[in-house]
Structure 1
Amino acid sequence: MQVQVRGRGVRWWVTFGTIVFGTLFLVIGLILAGVSVSFLANADRARGTVVALEWRSDDDSGASRKRRVNDESAAYPVVEFTSADGQRRTFRDSTGSKPPAYEEGERVEVLYRSDSPEDARINGFASLWLLPLIFGGIGLVFAGIGTAVALVTRRRS
């Protein structure tokens, strides 16, 4: 199937929309990166242990699963650590993977806010930088393509 776009107006709007979409995603990626940087700057560190893996899939309705349900499941590490106030705390990391990135019993470094210890993350690439890179990368690609098309179109006219 071949689609033919007629008129400069439609091409201009498609190009403009691509640039706007890419810029929006790039801004979201930069905001998420800023959140991670801010979290790192204010975070306390503790040693933690992965005590369980929760297997979840997109169709789970919030109910945790302790074992693999189907091939679409991802393993989310459940980590236990002791905060600076001496309390033992447990959290489920927000980043799951298949195959599991961590094993039960594995020691990990935990980052948490001292004023809000329940806001904790594993000190790892995926937990801190995966979303900013995905959004920023998609944004750069779309904004770059849109800008290149706009420049080529402008030179031809």
Structure 2
Amino acid sequence: MRRDGLILARGVALLLPLALLGGALGSQYIGGLHPCEMCHWQRWPHYAAVIVAAASFLVTRNRPLLMTLVLFAAVLIAVSGGIGVFHAGVEYHWWEGITGCTSSLTRGMSAESIIDQIRKGPMVRCDAAQWTLFGISMAGYNAILSIGGAVAIFLLAVRRPRIAA
């Protein structure tokens, strides 16, 4: 029996973003956690990865095309992980966010200015984690699982088929 890492990589490339999107959407619609702007940024590459990975299941005989689709899905998953690293860094206040959904209160602001900023500000802030487990936010878990999964997909895809004993 032949073991082919590319076939396994194709399955992981489809199931991983589906699972991560399922977790994100479940936490939103079942758990009541509302996503911020950067949360949505992390989802877009996963949506694209699902489409690309699903398309790879239509390829049966063209191995180079199959490899290209699987590796492209892995890159998309890694992009989501990179956005997750950035978002987690904003949540942990390691660096400033680039969106309007982070707090921009500065010392010496008048009470009127603070109230005005609160009124104009977003409902869900990007620099405050709504949920953590073991000190890791959802953005952090997305980063870990996406980057780790992308590496695993790449390693599986490029390994040569071998004969199982």
Instruction: Report the TM-score, using the length of structure 2 for normalisation.
Output: 0.37
Structure showing greater Rg:
1
Instruction: Report the TM-score, using the length of structure 1 for normalisation.
Output: 0.39
Structure showing the higher strand proportion among its residues: 1
Structure showing the higher helix proportion among its residues: 2
More RCO (CA 8 Å, sep 6+):
2
